[in-house]
């Protein structure tokens, strides 16, 4: 590339300009498919979603401008307003559980003992099964006639009589939390494990020399150094749970009596049961803004403490 | 002596904790495989093992073959499309200066921040405009878009990690940029391509929401959609036996790919953790 260093100054800068131009052309050509995908399938739909939210937009028929009716209607939409509280509760509960379980598993399989790889695989394997399939699998397990779970609980003496895993709001909620923990714990374990393995061994050795106990090492060394990874887990878990759809849509179908309807299920029903795409788009925009705000807030909270 | 004993006790408690947990994590999968071939529904009334669940599943709706074929079409198109777009795009991002470069990267990462349903509803409308509703190709196109943030990020890092001399030698030998990419660079970034391809495979094989919104005709359903419609008993009462068989059929390709390529799955996270 640098073979013309002996050329006169003006010609060299000419050549450099030409090279920069061909480089820009090649770069644009190579990234053209990616640009097309981002623009046509992401940016245009995003703008269209914003526009749809300002219109009365039936599934079939002509749209008409009606802003801000769709947004005003949100506050009267009981299904969605209830779903906001429910989704927040679900997000808080599963995020705490994911963090605790995944951290426990990651600390457990951080060891270098023989056979530890097999245990990692065992914990991670559910993450390969689709969320919809996992929900169906647990749906069958929770079925009293077909599934083994009620028999197991009865044999352990934990319940008497018939179990009702999906019949009451609380049971349906807990059953779904158990299912997603099974499905996602291994995934978050691996995320945390990569963070744990990035901590140099010397740090642990130094803390052992200082006579720190296991608990002190965890609290004063491991967790602070793991902060960036924990933030990643928080962002992933909060985002995923706020947008939860499959677990409840498949496992509980939003029931019993709409007690487990998440925000995305409420939006989905607005669009494809009530055929009101404009209102669905307005809800989608609200979810989008809330999600970005929450994630920025989390990152800000974590960054702030780091500086002190 | 006591030190030895403590060490041994720690080993015992380590392994017993792990074994108990591993059993808890694996038992739902094992039960699913077992109950898909065992019990009265699997044998047609008798005890023991039998294939009846799979036979009923094969005839369910438009047929298991049809659903598996649809899922495979979506998956193959998504994996090929993702690799094509992210290899070219990652190469461009790592090696070329061009206007809008940073904008493209930020735009692709922004896909992560936006809830899928937010773009799926307008996309559904757009597909109706161009007459592409109810098509497997449009599902695959959208799934490629969802893979872009991770894929572009991985491939850009993979190309950046290669020494510049590698393609300069090829360019001096008279290869064009594309020739250098194909002959010299691609072999060097194969591990990253395996990781990106594997994520695209798992995501598209298991994707639920996109085909649920886009596909309205039973003949075009993918496996997850067909199984969920089986669960809701849309075509009669819920057949939990056939459902188990369906879960097994849907899970086996993922479990196989996962066990074979686990290292690459973990690599995806390491890359993210190191490069931030």
Cβ contact (<8 Å) for B104 and A46? Answer: no
CATH architecture of A73-307: Orthogonal Bundle (1.10)
A7 falls in which pLDDT band (50, 70, 90)? very low
Average pLDDT, chain A: 86
Cβ atoms of B126 and A49 closer than 8 Å:
no
B183: CATH = 1.10.3720.10
pLDDT confidence of residue B2: 67
Query: Which residues of chain B lie closer than 8 angstroms to A34, CB-CB?
Result: 85-86, 88-89, 92, 104, 108, 148, 152
pTM here is 0.88
**Which of B29, B115, B152 is the closest to A287 by Cβ?**
B115
Q: What is the pLDDT of residues A237-288, one digit of tens each?
A: 998 999 999 899 989 888 788 889 999 999 999 888 888 889 999 999 999 9
Tell me the shortest Cα–Cα distance from A273 to chain B, in angstroms.
Answer: 12
**By C-alpha distance, which of A182, A170, A167 is closest to A101?**
A182
- pLDDT of B72 > 90? The answer is yes
For tokens 């720190």, the residue is A212
A12 falls in which pLDDT band (50, 70, 90)? low
Closest CA in chain B for residue A35: B104
pLDDT confidence of residue B259: 86
For tokens 């599902």, the residue is B139
**Which of A39, A121, A280 is the closest to B121 by Cβ?**
A280
Q: What is the pLDDT of residues A188-210, one digit of tens each?
A: 999 899 888 888 888 888 888 88
SS3 B217: coil
**By C-alpha distance, which of B39, B10, B6 is closest to B244?**
B39
> Among the listed ranges A22-31, A177-186, B43-52, B146-155, which one has the minimum average pLDDT value?
B43-52
pLDDT confidence of residue A44: 95
Q: Which two tokens stand for residue B253?
A: 């390709």
Q: Which residues sit opposite A56 in a β-bridge? A: A64
- pLDDT of B156 > 70? The answer is yes
> In angstroms, rounded to a whole number, what is the distance separating the alpha carbons of residues B63 and A47?
39
Cβ atoms of B74 and B139 closer than 8 Å:
yes
Query: Which residues of chain A lie closer than 8 angstroms to B144, CB-CB?
Result: 37
A1 falls in which pLDDT band (50, 70, 90)? very low
Closest CA in chain A for residue B267: A194
Choose between B81 and A62: higher pLDDT: B81
pLDDT confidence of residue A9: 52
* Mutation for testing the B interface, residue in A32, A34, A127 having most B CBs under 10 Å: A34
> In angstroms, rounded to a whole number, what is the distance separating the alpha carbons of residues B269 and B223?
28
**Which of A109, A121, A194 is the closest to B259 by Cβ?**
A121
- pLDDT of B58 > 90? The answer is no
For helices B190-206 and A131-141, angle between their N-to-C axes, nearest 10 degrees: 50
ipTM for the complex shown? 0.88
> In angstroms, rounded to a whole number, what is the distance separating the alpha carbons of residues A121 and A186?
9
Instruction: Give the mean model confidence (pLDDT) for residues B123-130.
Output: 89
Tell me the shortest Cα–Cα distance from B260 to chain A, in angstroms.
Answer: 11
A22 contacts: CB under 8 Å, gap ≥ 6: none
**Is B187 within a domain?**
yes
For chain B, give the number of residues. 276
- pLDDT of B96 > 80? The answer is yes
> In angstroms, rounded to a whole number, what is the distance separating the alpha carbons of residues A27 and A33?
11
Query: Which residues of chain B lie closer than 8 angstroms to A268, CB-CB?
Result: 117
Cβ contact (<8 Å) for B29 and A44? Answer: no
Query: Which residues of chain B lie closer than 8 angstroms to A116, CB-CB?
Result: 18
pLDDT confidence of residue A175: 92
B222 falls in which pLDDT band (50, 70, 90)? very high
> In angstroms, rounded to a whole number, what is the distance separating the alpha carbons of residues A56 and A77?
16
- pLDDT of B43 > 80? The answer is no
Q: What is the pLDDT of residues A125-172, one digit of tens each?
A: 999 999 999 999 999 898 877 778 888 888 887 777 777 888 889 999
pLDDT confidence of residue A23: 85
**Which of A23, A33, A122 is the closest to B25 by Cβ?**
A122
**Is B255 within a domain?**
yes
The secondary structure of chain B in percent helix, strand, coil, rounded to multiples of 5, reads 80, 0, 20
The Cβ of residue A289 has, within 10 Å, a number of other Cβ atoms equal to 10
pLDDT confidence of residue B140: 96
Q: Which two tokens stand for residue A94?
A: 């599963």
Give the number of domains in chain B.
Answer: 1
Query: Which residues of chain B lie closer than 8 angstroms to A133, CB-CB?
Result: 206, 224, 227, 247, 250-251
**Is B164 within a domain?**
yes
Q: What is the pLDDT of residues A53-89, one digit of tens each?
A: 998 888 777 887 887 888 888 888 889 999 999 999 9
Cβ atoms of B117 and A268 closer than 8 Å:
yes
- pLDDT of A304 > 60? The answer is no
Closest CA in chain A for residue B165: A1
Choose the most confident range, by mean pLDDT, from A16-20, A117-121, A211-215.
A117-121
> In angstroms, rounded to a whole number, what is the distance separating the alpha carbons of residues B229 and B218?
10
pLDDT confidence of residue B273: 45
The Cβ of residue A238 has, within 10 Å, a number of other Cβ atoms equal to 20
**Which of B21, B148, B276 is the closest to A37 by Cβ?**
B148
A2 falls in which pLDDT band (50, 70, 90)? very low
Residue ranges making up the domain that contains B122? 53-275
pLDDT confidence of residue B146: 95
Residue A73, classified by CB atoms within 10 Å of its CB into exposed (0-12), middle (13-18) or buried (19+), is: middle
For helices B136-160 and A9-38, angle between their N-to-C axes, nearest 10 degrees: 140
Percent of chain A with pLDDT over 70: 94
**Is B263 within a domain?**
yes
């Amino acid at each position: 590339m640098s073979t013309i260093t002996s050329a006169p100054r003006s010609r060299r800068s000419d050549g450099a300009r030409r090279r920069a131009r061909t480089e820009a052309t090649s770069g644009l050509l190579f990234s053209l498919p990616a640009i097309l995908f981002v623009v046509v399938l992401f940016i245009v739909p995003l703008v269209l979603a914003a526009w749809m939210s300002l219109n009365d937009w039936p599934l079939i028929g002509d749209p008409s401008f009606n802003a801000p009716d769709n947004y005003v209607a949100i506050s009267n939409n009981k299904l969605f307003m209830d779903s906001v509280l429910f989704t927040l509760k679900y997000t808080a509960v599963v995020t705490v559980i994911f963090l605790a379980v995944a951290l426990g598993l990651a600390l457990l399989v951080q060891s270098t003992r023989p056979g530890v790889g097999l245990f990692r695989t065992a914990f991670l394997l559910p993450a390969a099964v689709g969320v919809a399939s996992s929900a169906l699998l647990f749906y069958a397990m929770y079925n009293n006639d077909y599934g083994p779970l009620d028999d197991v609980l009865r044999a352990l003496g934990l319940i008497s009589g018939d179990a009702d895993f999906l019949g009451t709001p609380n049971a349906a909620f807990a059953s779904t939390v158990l299912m997603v923990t099974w499905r996602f714990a291994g995934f978050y374990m691996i995320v945390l494990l990569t963070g744990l393995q990035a901590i140099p061994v010397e740090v642990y050795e130094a803390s052992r020399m200082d006579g720190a106990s296991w608990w002190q090492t965890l609290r004063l060394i491991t967790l602070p150094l793991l902060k960036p990874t924990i933030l990643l887990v928080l962002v992933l878990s909060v985002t995923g749970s706020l947008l939860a759809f499959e677990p409840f849509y498949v496992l509980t179908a939003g029931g019993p009596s709409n007690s487990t309807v998440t925000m995305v299920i409420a939006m989905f029903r607005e669009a494809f049961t009530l055929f009101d795409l404009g209102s669905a788009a307005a809800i989608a925009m609200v979810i989008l803004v809330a999600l970005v705000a929450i994630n920025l807030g989390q990152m800000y909270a974590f960054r702030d403490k780091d500086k002190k | 002596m006591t030190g030895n004993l403590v060490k041994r006790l720690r080993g015992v408690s380590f392994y017993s904790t792990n074994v108990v947990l591993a059993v808890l994590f694996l038992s739902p999968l094992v039960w699913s495989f077992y109950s898909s071939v065992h019990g009265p529904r699997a044998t047609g009334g008798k005890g023991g093992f039998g294939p009846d669940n799979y036979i009923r599943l094969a005839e369910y709706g438009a047929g298991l073959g049809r659903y598996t074929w649809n899922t495979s079409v979506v998956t193959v198109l998504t994996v090929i499309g993702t690799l094509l777009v992210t290899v070219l795009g990652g190469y461009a991002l790592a090696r070329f200066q061009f206007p809008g470069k940073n904008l493209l990267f930020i735009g692709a990462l922004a896909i992560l921040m936006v809830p899928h349903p937010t773009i799926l509803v307008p996309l559904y409308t757009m597909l109706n405009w161009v007459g592409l509703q109810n098509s497997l190709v449009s599902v695959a196109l959208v799934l490629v878009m969802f893979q872009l943030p991770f894929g572009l990020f991985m491939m850009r890092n993979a190309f950046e990690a290669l020494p510049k001399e590698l393609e300069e030698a090829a360019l001096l030998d008279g290869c064009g940029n594309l020739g250098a990419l194909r002959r010299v660079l691609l072999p060097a970034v194969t591990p990253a391509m395996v990781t990106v391809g594997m994520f695209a495979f798992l995501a598209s094989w298991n994707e639920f929401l996109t085909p649920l919104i886009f596909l309205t005709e039973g003949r075009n359903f993918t496996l997850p959609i067909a199984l969920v419609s089986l669960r809701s008993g849309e075509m009669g009462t819920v057949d939990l036996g056939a459902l188990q068989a369906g879960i097994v059929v849907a899970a086996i390709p993922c479990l196989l790919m996962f066990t074979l390529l686990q290292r690459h799955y973990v690599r995806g996270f390491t890359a993210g953790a190191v490069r931030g």
